[in-house]
Structure 1
């Protein structure tokens, strides 16, 4: 839980004020036991993300040094910008609205295609009541 909080909320780098009042990083020898533990947890968070990331995604985030920065970059590359998300939702909604049974398609195949569309919409935060989904499937069937 602590590691996830660091990934999502960002770092807590040990710092101090210099003689001019500027904030500077502390030397390793000046860190308290708690600060050392925090740095260790941050390193674990980064390692977990690196281990769980595909090589393709890893190459996009390998230069980032903070778990929060890595997470934000992965989130952006996976989900895209707000405009990308809206475009994706519109495309999937269009698929949903235009959904119909293909000639000679089995009910299983129809339901599988429909489930993929609904799961994609769910992942994008667009939800439908079961009753509405059932009606959509019934209306999409062709006369055979």
Structure 2
């Protein structure tokens, strides 16, 4: 079902729209992740903060302890936060294919969903570090291949340069060619 549902989903098509999130078809995660991050931030920055930092459940003080508020106890500010939590989850659901929907549907927060997609497609921190080291080495050893067209060389170079910051914004190579 994986590839057939993915192909069906791709058949729906995607435009460069500002009114709907970029669709993830299960390939080229780093490209989708950056587009999605920018889309969410430009649509509603609060939604990005919910995805990045997680939810903060509205709480109340009962004696010496703090407990979650019930739905009936939420004030206007709390309701806005809870709506943003639901919008962030919905935005992620709307942006993934059916296979990835199944992977994240067990998550209860948008942060969990985002993190699960990251681990699925980028790996754990150790895997990510290994990928960064590999891409850094490719960057440092980059040379034009014998008989290679400039366009092809530029495509290879762009892929290395574009994949590095999506894996880690901290470790971008500073050496120039």
Fold agreement, TM-score > 0.5: yes
Residues 62, 114 of structure 1: alpha-carbon distance in 2 compared, 3 angstrom cutoff: same
Deviation at 1:62, TM superposition (A): 0.9
Residues 69, 117 of structure 1: alpha-carbon distance in 2 compared, 3 angstrom cutoff: closer
Cα distance in 2 for residues equivalent to 1:74 and 1:120: 16
Per the alignment, residue 77 of structure 1 pairs with 120
Per the alignment, residue 7 of structure 1 pairs with 51
State how 1:82-121 maps to structure 2 within 5 Å. 82-121=125-164
Residues 89, 33 of structure 1: alpha-carbon distance in 2 compared, 3 angstrom cutoff: closer
Q: RMSD over aligned Cα, in angstroms?
A: 2.6
SS of the residue aligned with 1:24?
strand
Cα distance in 1 for residues equivalent to 2:106 and 2:68: 20
> Are 2:50 and 2:88, in contact at CA under 8 Å, matched by a contact in 1?
yes
Residues 50, 100 of structure 1: alpha-carbon distance in 2 compared, 3 angstrom cutoff: same
Deviation at 1:80, TM superposition (A): 2.1
Cα distance in 1 for residues equivalent to 2:83 and 2:52: 17
| TM-score, structure 1 as length reference | 0.70
Deviation at 1:60, TM superposition (A): 1.8
Greater mean alpha carbon deviation, residues 102-111 or residues 83-92: 102-111
> Are 2:136 and 2:173, in contact at CA under 8 Å, matched by a contact in 1?
no
Aligned to 2:101, which of 27, 52, 58?
58
The total of aligned residue pairs comes to: 130
Deviations 1:48-100 (A, max 9, x none): 12112233332221111222222222233333222111211222234334544
Cα distance in 1 for residues equivalent to 2:77 and 2:48: 18
Structure 1, unmatched stretches of 5+, are: 134-144
